[in-house]
Structure formats: structure tokens, C-alpha cells
Structure 1
Amino acid sequence: MDIRNYLSNSRKRSHKEVASDSDSDSDSTSDNESVMPDPRCTQPAQLVQSKSDKKKAYKSKLTYRQQWKLKYSWIDCANAEMGMFCVICKKYGKPPGNARGAWTTRGITDWNHATEMLKLHNDSKWHKDAAITAQMAQQSDLSVLELQNAASARDTKERKKKNQAIILKLLCSIYFLIKHRIPHTTTFNDLLALQVANGDEQLAHHLEQSPGNAMYTSKFSLTSLIEAIATWLRRKLLKSLRESPFFSILADECEDISTQEELSICCRWIVDGQAEEHFISVLHVLACDAETITEAIESFIASSDLQYRKLVGQGYDGAAVFSGCRSGVQVRMRTHAAHAVHVHCACHRLQLASIQAAKTVPEIQKVFGMMGNIWKLFYYSPKKMQALKEVQAVLGLPELKVVKPSDTRWLSHERCMRAIRKELPALITTLQQLYETTGDAEAFGLSTLLSCFTGVASICFLSYVLDTLAKMMLPCKGR
């Protein structure tokens, strides 16, 4: 029993010792874990901390360098924390608004980019102007403010001179396009590019260096340039018109593409003993009655500062609105200028008289109708026009187009008949080919009229008559 008790007690003690040892080991392990951190976690933090420390150390070493003073003598840096200043600009300069006091009231402390900033400031225009002002201050007794004002005035004058030269180039370019009836909105930039390619350095510098809102190449700027040209020309013409002892007014109304009624006004006056005629203005009118048109003409005369006592003539078409003997425009205008003689356009009257006389002769009326049908046949069919050109090339004839004859357009019948007479062999051949290939009845009828004796004789006779009438009309048109 004693032995058994002894063995059981010894086993209990051994179990307690093992448990206490394991508890002590776990405590020691936890203590060690709290003291010794995991190296896998500490390694990146140490690396990041070392990079930031290196960056801070590098920035702390950046400061003002004395060697900059050797290259740029205008540097003033009494305290590195206050930054660098420019002695010249601080005393004599007028920095631009976007500088925000840099180099004058606010020092430069960006040592990392100090080299580039020093070079930029040394090459800047306002620093160079300040240097010129400082040099002038040493040679004159003027104050700094007076020197700055003189430099500013000189700079403004130079800039104004350059801008005037650029504007003149742009005006000449847009005037060239308008003079040759070339669309300016699509070709203006190409024309400027051509001038730059031909060696215009001043224009090239303007297009490269000017800001986007000061290039004067937008549609709004082009419209402003055109209006400026029109204003200048109108002022020049009106000045000459006012100086003339006499003048007359020519007016006619029409409808533009936007169905807006417009009244075009031309004037004829004396310059150095010679009569000159120029287009002056286009007026928008709300109606085409005699009262509205008269008010528009009166408004034009008043705004142009013209005198009714100098108005000696007025020319319009034969419409009753203008030429009516009771309430037409010409009668209403005589209430202001009783000596303003009304003249119906001579070319218009001759054209109307010729058309009216031609209607009394059936053969001539038939030829006039044939002229209109020939124009329609080829004008509205590019395929037929191409066939006519091919026949003209084979026969060695010039490529002439048949002009549209109009009863109210003088010289139109003469030009149309001249083209038909010169292209008569090509027209007959083309019309016969069109009938043989397509069976076009209209082409067959026209070819028959052109080939018969009566048709050829009428064409030759009318060519002579219309040519004579054209010679009578040309002096009336001032040619």
C-alpha cells in the first residue's frame, strides 16, 4: 500500500511539473513575440522610411548657390528663406499681371527648378525692358516713373505697328478672295498658309506665337474684316459723292435667296470732269410699293448727308412702281428735287422694244423659242452636254455654252445667237445622234429647224441684227 501510494503521488507530481513547464514556455513565447516583431512586416516599412528620409535629406541640401550670381548679376538673395529677387525689375520693371509679384515682391524659393526659372526670367521681355530703362536712368535725369512710362509708350507703339502690319496683310488677303469671288470661309486659312510657305516670316510668327483669341482667323473676325473694308470703301465713295456738284440715283429692287426684298442703290456723279458710276448700298425693304421704296431712298440720302439740290437725275426700270407718272417713285422724289429728271434705262427700253417687235414676225418668234429650247435641252442634261463637247472636239470647234435668252436681259439674245451660229455644225450633229441613239423627239425637231433653209437664214439674219443692237446698247452701259 505504501509503495502504491508513493508511485501515485510521484506520477501526480510529474504531471504538474510538465504542465507548469509548458505554461512557462508559452509565457516566454508570448513575451518574445511582443518584443521581437516579425521581420517580414518590418522590412518594407524600413525601406519606405529610408526613401523618404533620403528625399528629405536631398531637399534640405537644395538652397541658393553663389555661382548663379556670377552668371546673373541682377540676383538679390540676402536670405535663402526669403528667396531670390531681381534688382532691375524690382526698381525699374513693370511686371505683367500674370507674374503675381514674382521676382519683385515675392521671392523665388523653388530651388529644384531655379536654373530654368533664372534663364526664363533673363530672356523675358519685361526683364529686358527693365534693363533698358535702367540703362536710360543712368544716362538721363528723368525719374523712374517717367522712364517706365516712356518704355511703356515705346512698347505700345511697337506693338501697335506690328499689329497694323498683320491686320493689313489679313485685309489684303480677304480682299483678294472677295475680289475674285472665292469663298473666304473655306480658303482663307489656306491662303495664309501659302503666304507663310512663300517666306512671310512676320505672318508666320503671328500665326505661331499669337494666342487663339488674337489670331483674327475665325469666321467672326473675317466678317469683321469684310465689314471694315466695306465701311472704308463706302466712306471713300460718299466723300467723293458729296464733293461732286451734281449726282443722280439709280435704284432697282429684287428678292434675295432668303426671300427678303432688297433695294440696290447706285449713284452717278462727276469726278474731275468725268462721270463715274458706283454701287453704294443695299437696303432691306418690307414691301415693294412706291411709298416704302421712296422712304428707303430718302433714308439713304439723309444718312449719307447728301443734298437734294445736287440731285439732277433718277433712273429706274419701267415698272409702274418706279416710273408711274402719278404716284411712282420718280414722282414722289420730285417733291424734294423738282429738277431730278427721270430716265428709264435705255438698254432696258431697247430690249423691250426689240422683243415686242420680234413678236410680230412669226419666223423670228419661232427662232427665239428654238433658242430657249436648245438651252434647256443641254443645260438640264449633263449627258447631252458631254455629247455636245465630244462632237465639238471632233470638229475642232471651241467649247461654247448656249446662253439662256431672257426678255428682260439685254444682250442675252445676242450672246445666245452668237454661240448657236458658231456651234451650228456641232449642234446639228449632236441633235441627230441623240435622235438616232435615244429616239428623242425634241432633239429631232430642233435638228430639223436648224437644218432647214428658213432656220439657217433666220439665224444669219438675227445674228446681224442682234449684233447691231448690242453695239447700240454698249455705249448706254458705259463701255
Structure 2
Amino acid sequence: MSSSTESAQSCLPKVTSQPYQPMSAFVFPKRTFGKKVVVRRSCQSPWFEKRKWLHYSTKDDAVFCHVCVVALQSKKIKWQKGDPSFVSKGFSAWKEATVAFKSHESSSCHREAMQMIVELPKTCPDVGKMLSREHATEKGQNRECLLKIISNLKFLTRQGLPVRGDGDETDSNFIQLLKLRGQDDPLLKCWLTRKSSKYVSHDMRNEFINIMALSILREIAECIQKSTIFSIMCDECTDSSNREQLVLCIRWIDHGNLEPQEDVIGTYQIDDISAHTVVSVIRDMLVLMNFSLSRCRGQCYNGAANMKGGNTGVAKQLLDEEPRALYTHCYGHALNLAVGDAVKHCKVMKDALDTTYEVSKLVKYSPKRDTALQKLKESLAPDTPGFRTLCPTRWTVRADSLKSEIDNYCVLQELWETSKDYVSDPAIKGRIIGVLFQFRTFQYLFERRHTVRSLLKGLQETRTKLDVDDPVLPGKRKVPRRYEEGSAEPEFFDVCKQFYCQQYYEALDLFVNAIQARFDQPGFKMYRNLQDLLLQAVKSDDYRECLNHVTSLCHDDLDAQQLQLHHEILQANFVLVDKTSVTVCMTLGTTS
């Protein structure tokens, strides 16, 4: 740039992005014009209304062409084309203002400046702004597609469906769900045609799932932090790949509605199931969730030695650190074990389950017999529920299978009658004849009744309806000498009713003893004290012994005096509000 051009640039007035045009109330200074006739003239406000390019300088009391000045400053027009009166010196000859304005508007300098500063930006936007706008649009579309991909993963994981499934990656559940949604969303359909940066790879999916899992864990941890206490529940199992997996759960009370909540914290692969390994995983989980073991008030595991061992078990190690974390053998598991123990020692129930299992195999392992059973059911007993097979693991739900067998007793009898005629396999035919024989005996029907009274009361009606033989006493057999103790004569039943009552009460005693053996736990006794503390307070009984047991364990969690005061208030409310509730509580306390 030459020195003359630099000096000319320095002569340009300082202007902002918009021209300065004073309001109509502004008082312009007046100048004196003429030698013979003196006239005082000034700038006029109406000029700015017609010409938006005028810029008034209060310092020079002159007007400039704002468009030309900006064009020269940005070097979009050459300096030689500029009119000094409107770009450097300023125009102040107010008498010739109108003519000068028109002349400047028609000049090549002003037309070129208007084109470069005003018209060209309207027709050709700035490239940087255009790229920025396109980038923002692309970023918004990418975000929209990414949210749909994440929602697909959320749906599959929430429903427990495999993300990949069987077969090739293109046929996976995840990709096929995206294609299905792409039929109604052109943007997503176009996204799937991209060769890269689709965020659907294996690593990206795992990262999204981990982010969602951590978000859920943070929400669970926040809710549990608001609760005062919690309990730990865990169990181990072997997965399909023959690896040990430990499942950890937290049970806590929602203070909003006082309802218990159970949340799964995670599944952890462990090398072995020793007590030391399980305790290490539990401690890691507590650190991860920012929980303190001092707030733990319960432990619930199975009855395995590594979990409840009295010396080095998981429960013992945690109890040594926090005595208030009472151990409880899972009641569902304990009940299942109690039923299993009772059945193993009761021949009546064992035979009943063995025959029912044989019936399940004969029906469900043969599509032909299963179809025949459905047709017979539609004709003989269309309103009764269908036949249910025995659950292979849970003993407590096998009652549904036994009940379905009673409901379909006539249908099953007809099925065996028809099946034994067309079955050619001798082994299968022998099994069917054996089951049919059992169905006709009174002993088999007795094994499926809940009470002796309900069976014996309608004995005649039941035998007629179900085509069952009369009850008979078993043959009198002398006990072998090696089992005899003493010299008393053996006792035999003379009446069928006595024989079946003896079998029923024997089974009942076995069940009671098995339940007592499985539920006789130290933690259960403390929970019983908590229950009795409330019931005895409502019944106006002496509850000081239960109160001492509770306060001795939970001395840091409650105040004995305040608790006693609350019990007195509770007792008064029960008496004043509802006397029936007091009677119910007294009944519960007596029966429990």
C-alpha cells in the first residue's frame, strides 16, 4: 500500500456499523453563508428519512456517505473513485445539499459501494456463516438419529432382548429395529445408508448401554441415600458359559409411600464362590454406590455354608463388622427346602409327585397324546383349566400342577383308556396302564386332597364321579424282627378312615417340623420381637421384655423413652378410632 493511500485511509471518519442519524428533536448548529446577503443555514432532519446512507458527524457538523466510507475502510472499492466531500472532508454546503445528494447517489463510487456493502451480502451470504449454518443443521440431524439409536438400545435392554440375536450383524434385532423405524423416518433411513460414523458398532452399543446403566445406578443410589437403612441380598448361579455370576440387590424403604423396594445393583463374574470372594464383591459394591455398612440392617442369602457359615461365612463376616445387619435365610428358599424335606420323608406325597411327573412326561412328550387331551377336554370339561406340568425347581408351585390334575381327572382317565389301545411300544403301553391303574385307586385320589375331612365327607360322590375304587386297607404285614423293639403286639387299622387319618396327620407333622427347622433363625426371632412389641403395646400387655431385646440391638437407631411414648399414643389411637382393630391385633398376637 502506498503512502498516499495510507494517509487517505487515516482521513476517513470513524463510523459504526450503522449510520448516525439524529432524531427530529435534535437541534443542528447553524452556519453563516453569503457575502452580500448573509443567511444562516443548518442540516435538516428530513434528509435522513429519505436517504438512509447519510451519516451525520457532530464533531465536524457535516454529513458523510456511510456506505462509501465503509466500502473504503474494507477496501472493497478503490480510493480514486471516492468523492472527498462525502468520504473524507464531509459535506456541509447546506444550500446545495439536495442537488449534491442526488449527484452523489448517481455517481459510480456510490453505486459500486451500495452493491458491495448492501446488495451483495443479501444475495450471497457470508461463506463462513453458510458453513456454520449447515454444520448446525447437520449436528441437529446427527443428534436426532443418535437419540433414536439410544432409544432402540433402551427398548431392547428394558425388555431383556438380545441386541445382536442369532445370525449376521445385519440381521440383528438392533439393526432390524432401526430399519423398521426407518420406514417411517426418512432421516433415519438415510442415516443407515452411510458407510461410516453411524454409531451402531459393537463398541458404541456397549458404551451407550454402560452409560444408561450408570445413569440408572446413580438414580438408585440417590433414592437409597435418602432412606435411612437398607438390606443386602445376593445369590450366585452359573450362566450358560459355565461362569459363576453373583447377583447383588438392595432392599430399602421408600419414605414417600413406605413401600419396600428391591433394586438389582448388578451381576458380577467371580472366580469362585468362597466367602472371602463374595464379601469382597459386596464391599466393592458398597464403595461403588457410596453406601456405608453401618446403615445395613439386614442380609438375605441362601443357606449354603459359604453364606451362613458360623465361623467364616459371608453373614458372619459382615455381622462382626455391623452386628445390626441381621442375617436371614431367604424365606422363599427356606420354604422350598422345607417342602422338599417333608416330601422326601413322606411316602404318600412322594408317590403322588412321582405319578404326576410320569403323567407330565406321557402327555407333554407326545404331541399326539397332548392333542388328544385337548380334544377330550373340549368335549368333557371345556370350562376347567388345562393340565400343568410339574415345575422342575420350585416345590411350592407344584400344587398348581396337582390341582390341575384333579380338575382334569376324568379327562386324563379317558385319555389313558384310549391311548392304551393304539400304542404299540410295550414300554410306553406299560407306563400308560400303570398310570391308569393308579388313577382308579382311592389311594392316588387321597394323595391329592388338601384335607381328610373334605375327602371323606364326599366319598360316595367322588367315587361315582371320578370312577375310583372303594378305599381298602393295606395288607397286614408283620414288622421284621430286626426293626422290633419290645414285646408288644403290632397294631393294625380296622377302619379305612383311621388309616387315612394317620397318613394325613403324619404328613402334617412332617411339614410342621420341616418348617420349624428351616425357619428357626436368629434373625427371625428378632423380627418376631419387633412384631410382638407392636402387638403387645396395642393389647396393653407388658412389652418391656420385647422392648429390651429391640433396644439392645438397635440402641443407636432409636430412643427407648420416645419409643415407649409412641407406643402409648398408638395404643390410645387404636382404642379411640377402631376397637375392631384392637381385637384383630389381639387375635394376630395369639395365633402368631
Q: TM-score range by the shorter chain?
A: 0.5 to 0.7
1:386-405 maps to which residues of 2 (within 5 A)? 386-395=371-380, 396=382, 400=386, 402-405=388-391
Amino acid aligned to 2:234: A
1:202 to 2:220 alignment: no
In 1, the alpha carbon distance for the partners of 2:377 and 2:197 equals: 54
Deviation at 1:276, TM superposition (A): 0.8
Deviation at 1:326, TM superposition (A): 2.2
Q: Report the structure, 1 or 2, having the larger helix content.
A: 1
CA contact (8 A) 1:403 1:412 kept: no
Which of 414, 417, 434 is 2:399 aligned to? 414
Deviation at 1:158, TM superposition (A): 4.2
Deviation at 1:410, TM superposition (A): 5.0
Counterpart residue number, 1:449:
438
1:282-431 maps to which residues of 2 (within 5 A)? 282-395=267-380, 396=382, 400=386, 402-406=388-392, 409-431=394-416
Q: Spell out, residue by residue over 1:241-281, the C-alpha distance to the aligned partner (whole angstroms, 9 max, x if none).
A: 23322111100011111110111111111222332101111
For these two proteins, the number of residue pairs brought into alignment is 323
CA contact (8 A) 1:417 1:462 kept: no
In 2, the alpha carbon distance for the partners of 1:347 and 1:462 equals: 24
Counterpart residue number, 1:5:
none
Deviation at 1:412, TM superposition (A): 2.5
In 2, the alpha carbon distance for the partners of 1:335 and 1:355 equals: 32
Counterpart residue number, 1:252:
235
TM-score by length of 2: 0.49
CA contact (8 A) 2:307 2:314 kept: yes
Q: Spell out, residue by residue over 1:2-37, the C-alpha distance to the aligned partner (whole angstroms, 9 max, x if none).
A: xxxxxxxxxxxxxxxxxxxxxxxxxxxxxxxxxxxx
Amino acid aligned to 2:352: V
In 2, the alpha carbon distance for the partners of 1:217 and 1:462 equals: 61
In 1, the alpha carbon distance for the partners of 2:187 and 2:137 equals: 14
In structure 2, relative to structure 1, the CA distance for the partners of 1:219 and 1:437 (3 Å cut) is: farther
Counterpart residue number, 1:37:
none
TM-score by length of 1: 0.59
In structure 2, relative to structure 1, the CA distance for the partners of 1:379 and 1:293 (3 Å cut) is: farther
In 1, the alpha carbon distance for the partners of 2:154 and 2:422 equals: 50
Counterpart residue number, 1:167:
146
Deviation at 1:365, TM superposition (A): 1.8
In 2, the alpha carbon distance for the partners of 1:457 and 1:134 equals: 98
CA contact (8 A) 2:224 2:252 kept: yes
Which of 252, 260, 271 is 1:269 aligned to? 252
Amino acid aligned to 2:287: A
CA contact (8 A) 1:397 1:423 kept: no
In 2, the alpha carbon distance for the partners of 1:232 and 1:401 equals: 45
CA contact (8 A) 2:413 2:436 kept: yes
1:133-212 maps to which residues of 2 (within 5 A)? 148=128, 157-185=136-164, 186-197=172-183, 199-208=184-193, 211-212=194-195
In structure 2, relative to structure 1, the CA distance for the partners of 1:249 and 1:168 (3 Å cut) is: same
In 2, the alpha carbon distance for the partners of 1:383 and 1:456 equals: 26
Q: Spell out, residue by residue over 1:442-463, the C-alpha distance to the aligned partner (whole angstroms, 9 max, x if none).
A: 2222232233222223223289
Deviation at 1:331, TM superposition (A): 0.3
In structure 2, relative to structure 1, the CA distance for the partners of 1:390 and 1:181 (3 Å cut) is: farther
Counterpart residue number, 2:210:
227
In 1, the alpha carbon distance for the partners of 2:228 and 2:141 equals: 41
In structure 2, relative to structure 1, the CA distance for the partners of 1:374 and 1:229 (3 Å cut) is: farther
In 2, the alpha carbon distance for the partners of 1:437 and 1:219 equals: 55
In 2, the alpha carbon distance for the partners of 1:306 and 1:151 equals: 52
Deviation at 1:295, TM superposition (A): 1.6
In structure 2, relative to structure 1, the CA distance for the partners of 1:462 and 1:435 (3 Å cut) is: farther
Q: Spell out, residue by residue over 1:367-424, the C-alpha distance to the aligned partner (whole angstroms, 9 max, x if none).
A: 1222222333344444443443443344436784533334x52532123223323333
Return 5+ residue gaps in structure 1 as ranges: 1-132, 139-143, 470-479
Amino acid aligned to 1:422: D
CA contact (8 A) 2:339 2:395 kept: no
Tell me, what secondary structure is at the counterpart of 2:149? helix
In structure 2, relative to structure 1, the CA distance for the partners of 1:227 and 1:425 (3 Å cut) is: farther
Deviation at 1:318, TM superposition (A): 1.3
Counterpart residue number, 1:237:
220
CA contact (8 A) 2:419 2:432 kept: yes
In 2, the alpha carbon distance for the partners of 1:201 and 1:426 equals: 57
Deviation at 1:441, TM superposition (A): 1.4
In 2, the alpha carbon distance for the partners of 1:451 and 1:339 equals: 57
In structure 2, relative to structure 1, the CA distance for the partners of 1:222 and 1:389 (3 Å cut) is: farther
Amino acid aligned to 1:191: L
In 1, the alpha carbon distance for the partners of 2:366 and 2:348 equals: 28
In structure 2, relative to structure 1, the CA distance for the partners of 1:330 and 1:179 (3 Å cut) is: same
CA contact (8 A) 1:238 1:304 kept: yes
Counterpart residue number, 2:535:
none
Deviation at 1:335, TM superposition (A): 3.0
Which moves more between the two structures, 451-460 or 290-299?
A: 451-460
Counterpart residue number, 2:23:
none
In 1, the alpha carbon distance for the partners of 2:449 and 2:344 equals: 18
| RMSD after superposition | 3.4
Which moves more between the two structures, 359-368 or 211-220?
A: 211-220
In structure 2, relative to structure 1, the CA distance for the partners of 1:432 and 1:234 (3 Å cut) is: farther
In structure 2, relative to structure 1, the CA distance for the partners of 1:331 and 1:170 (3 Å cut) is: same
Which of 257, 264, 267 is 1:279 aligned to? 264
In structure 2, relative to structure 1, the CA distance for the partners of 1:282 and 1:460 (3 Å cut) is: same
Deviation at 1:325, TM superposition (A): 2.1
